[in-house]
Amino acid sequence: MECELSQLKVGFVGAGNMAYAVAEGLLKSGDISADNVTVSAPSDRNLPRFQALGARVSHSNTEVACASRLLFIAVKPHLVPTVLGQISPHVTRQHVVVSVAAGVTLATLEELLPDGVGVVRLMPNLPCVLQEGALLLARGSGAGPGVESLLKRLLAPCGLVEAGPEGWIDAHTGMSGSGVAFVYLFAEALADGGVKMGIPAALAQRIAAQTLLGAGLMLRDCGKPASVLRAEVCTPGGTTIHGLHALEKGGVRAAVMSAVEAATERARELGRK
Ligand SMILES: NC(=O)C1=CN([C@@H]2O[C@H](COP(=O)(O)OP(=O)(O)OC[C@H]3O[C@@H](n4cnc5c(N)ncnc54)[C@H](OP(=O)(O)O)[C@@H]3O)[C@@H](O)[C@H]2O)C=CC1
Ligand SMILES: O=C(O)[C@@H]1CCC=N1
């Protein structure tokens, strides 16, 4: 990947939510020029929003592969073998291929691409669309530390970008990729609790969202672990400890841990297909 960043050609195969979130982040980095970005999808459904970013669009995956050096694969996991089968004859050692598909392993990606191609697994999550994602990446043997630094720099506007061994990617998928939905479920339940206690639904939903946002920002920015912040909310004999007791009796802690475990296992299962 030896070229000026302003000259770097970037491609997206797949034009869904994740492709859009990552593309927007890349362009916000200011390093990549929109007219160097090409995106493909079979239908026109999702392409206009990429055109609005200034990217070029196509229905041909091979056209995108030929036009780019940094190539994101952002289709559903079961479509990855088909798509890589199409583009593989056009991928060279000058390419870096970054897959965001849940479960699809580096070994599978490397097997489906020519020998020596730099391959990366990247697991983003939905809040990337608001530049507040949590992304973890793992490099294959053909992608050096320079690729990791480049991706960290380019993806920084998407949120927190960390690198780790591939063994962590499925767990991150369960904890953070899917974890976003677990948090939404908690938000729904919090608002339902407010409704049960007499607050109108629309107001309860706004309060639930702000409660999660405020709690999340404090957790990220105050430098205190969750357990300490939780203790700070608990007045002895007060309301919070009574509510927490109800949550513990409901097994919420074990349920959340089991949810992460189940989602991680599912990512591993997808990888075995
Ligand atoms: N959603 C999430 O929160 C997360 C998703 N992921 C991973 O990201 C990947 C994409 O997910 P997401 O963006 O949600 O999915 P979407 O359903 O939003 O987008 C899938 C895209 O793939 C396109 N597509 C379908 N078939 C082909 C094909 N043969 N060639 C090229 N493009 C094709 C679709 O085309 P069209 O526009 O025509 O329908 C669509 O643009 C998945 O592998 C998922 O595991 C990872 C982390 C989080
Ligand atoms: O549910 C899924 O499979 C994808 C991966 C992580 C979030 N959504």
Whose atoms come closest to the Cα of 11: which ligand? 1
pLDDT at 6: 78
pLDDT in tens, 133-146: 999 999 999 999 99
Domains 5-166 and 177-272 share a fold: no
Verify whether ligand 2 is closer than 6 Å to residue 103 (CB atom).
no
Residue 123 CA, ligand 2 centroid: distance in Å: 9
Distance between CA 204 and CA 102 in Å, rounded? 33
Which of 75, 128, 178, when mutated, tests ligand 2's pocket best, judged by the most ligand atoms within 8 Å of its CB? 178
CATH code of the domain made up of 177-272: 1.10.3730.10
Query: Which amino acid is located at 80 in the chain?
Result: V
Task: Report the SS3 class of residue 69.
Answer: coil
Q: Are 84 and 107 in contact (CB under 8 A)?
A: no
pLDDT at 123: 97
CATH code of the domain made up of 5-166: 3.40.50.720
Q: How far is CA 231 from CA 79, 184, 226, in A?
A: 46, 23, 9
Give every CB contact of residue 91 below 8 A, 6+ residues apart in sequence: 65, 71, 97, 113, 114, 117
Which of 13, 76, 161, when mutated, tests ligand 1's pocket best, judged by the most ligand atoms within 8 Å of its CB? 76
Distance between CA 96 and CA 15 in Å, rounded? 18
Report the relative pairing of strands 118-123 and 133-139 from DSSP bridges. antiparallel
Q: Extract the annotated binding site.
A: 61, 74-77
pLDDT at 5: 82
pLDDT in tens, 239-252: 999 999 999 999 99
Which of 135, 173, 273, when mutated, tests ligand 2's pocket best, judged by the most ligand atoms within 8 Å of its CB? 173
Sign of the torsion formed by the C-alpha atoms of 39, 43, 49 and 52: positive
Domain ranges of the chain: 5-166, 177-272
Residue 214 CA, ligand 1 centroid: distance in Å: 31
pLDDT at 3: 67
Residue ranges in the chain modelled with pLDDT below 50: none
Distance between CA 231 and CA 226 in Å, rounded? 9
Whose atoms come closest to the Cα of 43: which ligand? 1
pLDDT in tens, 85-113: 999 999 999 999 999 999 999 999 999 99
pLDDT at 2: 58
Q: Indicate whether this complex's ipTM tops 0.90.
A: yes
Whose atoms come closest to the Cα of 60: which ligand? 1
Distance between CA 173 and CA 270 in Å, rounded? 12
